[in-house]
Amino acid sequence: MRIISAKTLLSGIALAATYMISGTAAAQSDQVTFHKDIEPILQRSCQNCHREGGAGPMPLISYDQVAPFAGLIEYKTALRDRAGAMPPWYMEKDIGIQAYKDDPSLTDEELALISTWARSGTPKGDVSDAPEALVFNDSLKLRIQPVDATH
């Protein structure tokens, strides 16, 4: 019994490592919440575009910004590699050295989390489960744009 549980623990650790970037390993309790499950997905795959000054039409950072779009997000992400899908299917993982060094495409597990969340009334969850907010590095952009001389 001991050996089996150690083995289970080990594969659990391996799985946690695999999902560290996506942050979806925390989906342990049955309720899928914004802070615990959805926010890490948005950080990894969406916020680079969906933020102030990003390419996306609306920011997807805070709960209040994201919740009204839950249904549309479920729809867009489920399109996967078809036209109109989010994240855009043509974004290969090695395009855009800075922003896309991690593969932005969503796993089946992530799609399922989004779907469950959208269909269960978009629970907000506990803010203590939230990942740290991302700080976007716009230094590339700053370099090619004139810097405010009054600075």
Which 4-63 positions form the footprint of ligand HEC (CB under 6 A)? 45-46, 48-50, 55-57
Q: Between the CA of residue 78 and those of 29, 87, 90, 95, what are the distances in Å?
A: 23, 10, 15, 22
Q: Decide if 77 contacts 85 (C-beta within 8 A).
A: yes
The answer to whether residue 73 forms part of the interface with ligand HEC (CB under 6 A) is: yes
In the complex with ligand HEC, which residue's Cβ is closer, 55 or 147? 55
* Side chain identity at residue 77, one-letter code: T
Would you count residue 124 as binding ligand HEC (CB under 6 A)? no
Contacts of 66 by beta carbon, 8 Å cutoff, 6+ apart:
34, 38, 42, 60, 73
Restricted to residues 88-107, the positions that interact with ligand HEC (CB under 6 A) are 88, 91, 104, 106
CB of 11 to ligand HEC, least distance (A): 28
**Cα distance between residue 133 and residue 19, in whole Å:** 18
Nearer to ligand HEC, 110 or 123 (CB): 110
Of 57 and 121, CB closest to ligand HEC: 57
- 66, 74 Cβ separation under 8 angstroms: no
CB of 87 to ligand HEC, least distance (A): 4
Q: Which residues bind ligand HEC (CB under 6 A)?
A: 45-46, 48-50, 55-57, 69, 72-73, 76-77, 84, 86-88, 91, 104, 106
